[in-house]
Amino acid sequence: MDKPSTTISDLKKKRRMNALISPTLHEIKFNEFVLFILEKKMGTTRRAFLMELARRKGFRVESELSDSVTHIVAENNSCSDVLEWLAGQNVGDSSRFELLDISWLTECMKVGKPVEAIGKHQLVTPSDCITETPPLATKEVSQYACKRRTTLNNCNQKFTDAFEILAKNFEFRENEGICLAFMRAISVLKCLPFTIVRMRDIEGVPWLGEQVKSIIEEIIEDGESSRVKAVLNDERYKSFLLFTSIFGVGLKTSEKWYRQGFRTLDEVKADKSLKLTKMQKAGFLYHEDLVSCVAKEEADAVYLIVKEAVRAFLPEALVTLTGGFRRGKKIGHDVDFLISDPESGEDEQLLPNVIKLWEKQELLLYYDLVESTFEKTKLPSRKVDAMDHFQKCFLILKLHHQKVDSNRSKPPPESKTHEAKNWKAIRVDLVMCPIQQYAYALLGWTGSRQFERDLRRYATHEKKMMLDNHALYDKTKKIFLKAESEEDIFTHLGLDYIEPWERNA
Ligand code: CTP
Ligand code: MN
Ligand code: MN
């Protein structure tokens, strides 16, 4: 069929579009951004609507990809889609643009000002992601996370987000096998230095079974997975997600509440006959703060509070930030610390003293002190997910806003429920360890969970050794291997050293 010639109505439509696209007189409030909204896969109408909306809110939005553009916003496009498009635009070095997903703009529109672009908004900076044919033979990807370098630069977030949802659903259904299969797939996808655009890209990559592959294929073709969509609408999944967001509520409690017919947190709260543990009571009380995630600036402020309190009793003690923040994450669900005293060796009084001090300072909202159960002669645990035996304390601290760096990017949220609430509740984990076990404890508490699991699996299956957060035991030589640093432990295991920020498996 011939292409129809332009009709009057087409011309009218075009004129309407142009009227929308051409910059109208809106005051520019945010000069630090110059936005360009990509039409590809978005369509002219929606693009025009978004441009007008953003301009009305005070953003500078260019119609053309001019030299002044700093941020490109795209919808339904992967990093490689945008790069491919950019390559055809003759704009020189495209790495100067920040590539953002539409979700960033939507959030900005909601609050009426720029929000910080975090991982989920970023389509990954061009210099970090390779989009041509994968350069590395994917056969070289190890089945062990501890032999892979996994930074926070995830080129395949579109896929890993989908698998996170599926893994969680199977966790909620207590189907550990399938849950683990998805977790392994997520972990291996996170280490790939390129975005998957065709099935050929993942040939030879371990842990990608038939089920996983069919979902990847569906996402490549349709941009989304029907299975993920079904899970997101699943009643049990939705309720479990809500219930487990409460500190102190795990699968067992969620199951019980679900069976009793509860579906939302308000329904649970309304039932005054329910017996809640002390932990769950605190979980409900500080829920809003606890689900709002800890920012790096807040973790740094907590670090100062912890260090000051610890040093008041043990001036020489080491206080080390561990967990996700040590791996370079910008947000976390809690702040983890490892404490050790080279002088006193083991000091069982430190954590109780710190607790007493914070109670006096009215900083303590909740705590649970767990005494050490460590026996020196015991071999490392055989279980991949075993808890360690250190004395530790799980707590909720009151962090005053003024303690958080004054040059932080976001102003503290204004609370509607509490009058002049000038603090935020933060989950903190403190672990006390003897200095001889410091390296093992540090390695164990830095994570990620998947990295730790694979370290233990590697030690057992490849080295006939047993590793846990306390020690490494060589079963052939029947000796415990001493380590002063994490590097020593990697050497004992015959592994290349992997930096903390490369352990985001
Ligand atoms: N860990 C452990 N034993 C526990 C709890 C945690 O060995 N009883 C280790 C895990 O290996 C984990 C790390 O400590 O990777 C930190 O745990 P957690 O705070 O749960 O996870 P993060 O990686 O810090 O992630 P998040 O930002 O969600 O806190
Ligand atoms: Mn943590
Ligand atoms: Mn923790």
398 and 310 in a single domain? The answer is: yes
Instruction: Answer for the pair 14, 49: CB distance below 8 angstroms, yes or no.
Output: no
* Bigger pLDDT: 37 vs 87: 37
367 and 420 in a single domain? The answer is: yes
Q: Provide the greatest CA pair distance for the chain.
A: 88
Alpha helix ranges (H) inside 22-78: 44-56
Pocket of ligand 1 (CB under 6 A): 323-324, 329, 332-334, 336, 387-388, 444-445, 447-449, 452, 469
Residue where the block lists tokens 């896969």: 41
Residue 405 has pLDDT above 80, yes or no: no
Give the span between the Cα atoms of 117 and 128, in whole angstroms. 17
Instruction: Answer for the pair 411, 422: CB distance below 8 angstroms, yes or no.
Output: no
**Banded pLDDT at 9 (limits 50, 70, 90):** low
Task: Calculate how far, in angstroms, residue 400's C-alpha sits from the geometric centre of ligand 3.
Answer: 21
302 and 253 in a single domain? The answer is: no
Q: pLDDT tens digits, residue range 195-206?
A: 999 999 999 999
Residue 483, helix vs strand vs coil: coil
- Please list the active-site residues: 334, 336, 429
State which amino acid sits at residue 438: Y
Domain interval for residue 322 = 294-375+384-434
Nearest Cα residue to atom 4 of ligand 1: 387
How many CB atoms sit inside 10 A of residue 348's CB? 11
Residue at which a domain ends, from 128, 147, 182: 128
Site to probe by mutation for ligand 1, drawn from 290, 303, 449, 486 as the one with most ligand atoms within 8 Å of Cβ, is 449
Q: How many helices (H) and strands (E) does the chain have?
A: 19, 14
Position 312 in a domain: yes
Supply the CATH number for residue 149's domain.
1.10.150.110
* Bigger pLDDT: 136 vs 73: 73
Position 54 in a domain: yes
State which amino acid sits at residue 480: F
Average pLDDT over residues 233-253: 98
Task: Calculate how far, in angstroms, residue 214's C-alpha sits from the geometric centre of ligand 2.
Answer: 33
Strands 423-432 and 391-400: antiparallel
300 and 419 in a single domain? The answer is: yes
Give the span between the Cα atoms of 103 and 64, in whole angstroms. 21
Give the span between the Cα atoms of 245 and 405, in whole angstroms. 28
Position 10 in a domain: no
DSSP per-residue letters across 318-345: EEEE-HHHHTT-SEESSEEEEEEBTTTB
307 and 416 in a single domain? The answer is: yes
Nearest Cα residue to atom 6 of ligand 1: 445
| Residues near ion ligand 2 (Cβ under 5 Å) | 323-324, 332, 334, 336
149 and 253 in a single domain? The answer is: no
Site to probe by mutation for ligand 1, drawn from 150, 291, 334, 393 as the one with most ligand atoms within 8 Å of Cβ, is 334
Mean pLDDT, the chain, integer: 90
Residue 11 has pLDDT above 70, yes or no: no
305 and 354 in a single domain? The answer is: yes
Instruction: Provide the pLDDT for residue 80.
Output: 80
Give the span between the Cα atoms of 69 and 34, in whole angstroms. 5
Supply the CATH number for residue 268's domain.
1.10.150.20
| CB proximity list for 373: less than 8 A, separation 6 or greater | 389
**Banded pLDDT at 84 (limits 50, 70, 90):** confident
410 and 461 in a single domain? The answer is: no
Task: Calculate how far, in angstroms, residue 295's C-alpha sits from the geometric centre of ligand 3.
Answer: 14
Residue at which a domain ends, from 187, 216, 231: 231
| Rg from Cα positions in the chain | 26
Q: How many domains does the chain have?
A: 5
Nearest to 455 by CA among 466, 290, 64: 466
* Bigger pLDDT: 137 vs 78: 78
Nearest to 258 by CA among 283, 275, 236, 276: 236
Give the span between the Cα atoms of 59 and 31, in whole angstroms. 8
Give the span between the Cα atoms of 192 and 142, in whole angstroms. 11
Task: Calculate how far, in angstroms, residue 334's C-alpha sits from the geometric centre of ligand 2.
Answer: 5
C-alpha distances (whole Å) from 328 to each of 20, 323, 455, 500 are 43, 9, 20, 8
| CB proximity list for 107: less than 8 A, separation 6 or greater | 115, 121
Position 1 in a domain: no
Is the preceding omega at residue 68 within 30 degrees of 0, hence cis? no
69 and 172 in a single domain? The answer is: no
Residue 394, helix vs strand vs coil: strand
124 and 74 in a single domain? The answer is: yes
Supply the CATH number for residue 479's domain.
3.30.210.10
Q: pLDDT tens digits, residue range 28-37?
A: 999 888 999 9
